[in-house]
Structure 1
């Protein structure tokens, strides 16, 4: 029920055994992409039908009997993961997940040498210990690994015989996000000053060396999207935020702030500004970025405490507002278009009370907040490319003017592929097939297996 698709999808209707009709709230140009990429429906009737049969379509979901049905459905856990692919769940521990060949796979007859095909896939959890993951890769125990590491670690991994490195751009960027309900993050001049005070290219080189730096504008788009959707002529009209600590200082002094005897900043009332930055502890690249930013801000005169946290504590801190800044991301995977990212940043429902807070408006003033929400809604209804581009420009201008967040790198998906030990046949690093990993990594690799491109080494 929290899926982004329900912001644009009204209902789903089954007209016969082979026809499903999606009713959109308004004509939506990204519907097929969203259904195919991000909002996968995997609820077979033989498991979930007993709930479907009891739904009363004449009453709202929050009324009975639907209210109790929803509560019961949320408590239900299938005895095993539901799959339709060539592999099925076998066993799981805290350190490994074993998938084995599906004896009932519906397309088994299309796979060459099915009987001698891959026996299964052994998965190591993505959140496993960082050093343990590196040791497994270096020992040749992993055929495919997604892990973002510093440049020197990439070089070290590539000394493993047969190891390949492929890094297609992702449809996302990393950014420094603000807690808009915590002073002084709700002050536009403070956010702009930080955009100038942080050397974003230095952050990128430490955290994601092979990524695309975003160090000139704050348009709210990944670098490759920016190049596709925003013309050089349009970009020339925007304020630039290239590293310039002198300009950051000028902005702060312009609102009455000053440095104390210790060199640290005080606001107009003389209060010293101390900051806290948090991020996901298990992701080394996120921690490296947050650590670099905290050191830069401390050096500039904002003492900044680094707080890497496990996911459950991270979200709890976010809910409680117990920080000023966080290293986060904006993803465009759901449609691979600007609408996805801007919907995440600006697509709020202004009828909800929380949208009236600074946090709800992402730091925008009420007028700009209403305008941004309208533009996101309009972009989701625009079919003509020229209209889409015009709306994207207006959203980029709003984002750049208000700096609701500070993007610093469009990440590339670091993939280490071991050839010749258990698997062979990897496509060339510049093969366009790797672009599919941006949205659907597991499905992309499953396709390579099913199509016989990746073959087992016997």
Structure 2
């Protein structure tokens, strides 16, 4: 709900168009980065109103970002202040100019209202004026108080608001916000948002009770949709399932073993079994989605594709002293059988299918692997705690700067794991390609400055190191297999090949954009 549909009532400043790298402004009229002054100045639209009747002003944007400051929002790694310069101008001052600030400010934050959050923003500003930060007791106390805050009403700026009485475990209803500046642009009076993972949503799609869904549906389910006349959209998600290793467990800390495992799995088969046409293998296996490569890396010949080659996998293991036992299971150079458990979120149909297939393939190769599904909310916690041997978690992310994908690959379930050590992959590595590399510094430094050529050098280094060491093994990139009731309940869907479908269905949802600009409209109802 928060990632996909929130812009319908609390929009960001703009949406990003992946096909050409342009922006589709919403609350921002325009903006400018001044490298010398280290500022990002945003000029806001005029005339927009909140559902409580208040005008939308720079004070709302200021309140939004001050509340994010209290919660240590990522954007504040790069900012040191935000100021409402006048009623419709906001100035963000960067601690160091960074190319990623534009994305964080313009797209990633959903704007909330000063009527609901302005008092909190003022309290935060008071702490800042006193020279206090997130380490102070006063800051921690205010954050604890803020986290308990539950507004009684939703003050909406977008063209829809939530009917609070409609909320139940199955769905909620959004009703048109007639005071929104987009109320006359959108074409739907009501929007229903259904709750539930793939098993819950599948019968709703088959019964044509939903017009669009973003879940990962098994190939058999997808075929059933198509047989019913339901159109399938395949946008890139810029991420997918990867094989994670607990590198406190020998021999997963050995690069040779991870590389052998990459060769031992037929990733084309894995993607097809899991998601049909929408499970597409990465060509470059360098930690960032293939779609980003042309913008950042010129020479792709340095990357190993890790195409299916079980003979090469066996040769690698034999080269480090591993042998196959009489039962066909590999034995390490320390005499231990290679027998492991692979976990995945049980409710994620595509990831659990990928895990089952990977376990079967590894077992056939001689690495005895048992699959176990874990409840989807618990699974990331167990991985973060290091309570796993092998696991399926995400690689890559839907952001046009490679920094974010490397954070997903190397930080999220590793050095930034909330509950523990995660996969325990050391971030300083000796490599054949690049000598000694501090991956944490390399990934963080690729956000510094506005010189994209300098950033490209760091991106290339991180990509080469990832491809050589394979801290995780990307199995495939997930393209959507999103059912759309084209012509059944909704009309206006563009034809295949339209550049709007280059957008990520989650981070820069093309459906949300087409609702907000009036492209989609109800029909045959």
TM-score, structure 1 as length reference: 0.87
| 2:356 is equivalent to residue 291 of structure 1 | yes
The one of 152, 155, 161 equivalent to 1:79 is: 152
1:272 counterpart residue number: 337
Match of 2:156, SS?
coil
2:202 counterpart residue number: 134
Range with greater deviation from structure 2 (385-394 or 314-323)? 385-394
2:309 counterpart residue number: 244
Displacement of 1:167: 0.9
| 2:403 is equivalent to residue 339 of structure 1 | yes
Q: How many Å separate the matches in 2 of 1:46 and 1:122?
A: 27
2:44 counterpart residue number: none
2:123 counterpart residue number: 54
1:253 counterpart residue number: 318
Change (3 A) 1:447 1:199: closer
Q: How many Å separate the matches in 2 of 1:406 and 1:352?
A: 19
Q: Is residue 218–residue 349 contact of structure 2 (8 Å, CA) maintained in 1?
A: no
Change (3 A) 1:311 1:342: same
Displacement of 1:347: 5.9
Displacement of 1:370: 4.8
Displacement of 1:414: 1.9
Match of 1:158, SS?
helix
Q: Is residue 182–residue 321 contact of structure 1 (8 Å, CA) maintained in 2?
A: no
Displacement of 1:351: 11
2:268 counterpart residue number: 201
| 2:485 is equivalent to residue 412 of structure 1 | no
2:515 counterpart residue number: 449
Displacement of 1:337: 2.1
Q: Is residue 239–residue 400 contact of structure 1 (8 Å, CA) maintained in 2?
A: yes
| 2:139 is equivalent to residue 66 of structure 1 | yes
Match of 2:370, SS?
strand
Q: How many Å separate the matches in 1 of 2:243 and 2:136?
A: 41
Change (3 A) 1:299 1:80: farther
The alignment yields a C-alpha RMSD, in angstroms, of 2.9
The one of 61, 85, 91 equivalent to 1:15 is: 85
Q: Is residue 214–residue 223 contact of structure 1 (8 Å, CA) maintained in 2?
A: no
| Gap runs ≥5 in structure 2 | 1-70
Q: Is residue 289–residue 396 contact of structure 2 (8 Å, CA) maintained in 1?
A: no
Deviations 1:190-222 (A, max 9, x none): 111111111111111111222363365421121
The one of 240, 247, 254 equivalent to 1:187 is: 254
Displacement of 1:126: 4.2
Q: Is residue 359–residue 371 contact of structure 2 (8 Å, CA) maintained in 1?
A: yes
Match of 2:92, SS?
strand
Change (3 A) 1:253 1:416: same
Q: Is residue 208–residue 409 contact of structure 1 (8 Å, CA) maintained in 2?
A: no
Q: How many Å separate the matches in 2 of 1:411 and 1:227?
A: 19
| 2:180 is equivalent to residue 105 of structure 1 | yes
Q: Is residue 246–residue 424 contact of structure 2 (8 Å, CA) maintained in 1?
A: no
Q: Is residue 372–residue 395 contact of structure 1 (8 Å, CA) maintained in 2?
A: yes
Displacement of 1:364: 5.4
Q: How many Å separate the matches in 1 of 2:393 and 2:359?
A: 14
Deviations 1:88-127 (A, max 9, x none): 111211111111112332333x438xxxx42211111142
Match of 1:304, SS?
strand
Range with greater deviation from structure 2 (356-365 or 70-79)? 356-365
Change (3 A) 1:265 1:347: closer
| 2:147 is equivalent to residue 147 of structure 1 | no
Change (3 A) 1:369 1:358: farther
| 2:389 is equivalent to residue 321 of structure 1 | no
Q: How many Å separate the matches in 2 of 1:216 and 1:194?
A: 17
State the aligned residue count.
Answer: 443
Q: How many Å separate the matches in 2 of 1:286 and 1:347?
A: 20
Q: Is residue 179–residue 185 contact of structure 1 (8 Å, CA) maintained in 2?
A: yes
Q: Is residue 88–residue 101 contact of structure 1 (8 Å, CA) maintained in 2?
A: yes
Displacement of 1:373: 2.6
Q: How many Å separate the matches in 1 of 2:502 and 2:209?
A: 26
Q: Is residue 180–residue 358 contact of structure 1 (8 Å, CA) maintained in 2?
A: no
Change (3 A) 1:19 1:151: same
| 2:125 is equivalent to residue 125 of structure 1 | no
Q: How many Å separate the matches in 1 of 2:324 and 2:455?
A: 45
| 2:100 is equivalent to residue 30 of structure 1 | yes
1:94 counterpart residue number: 169
Range with greater deviation from structure 2 (48-57 or 86-95)? 48-57
5 Å-filtered alignment, 1:147-226, equals 147-161=215-229, 163-211=230-278, 213-214=280-281, 217-226=284-293
| Larger relative contact order (Cα-Cα within 8 Å, sequence gap ≥ 6) | 1
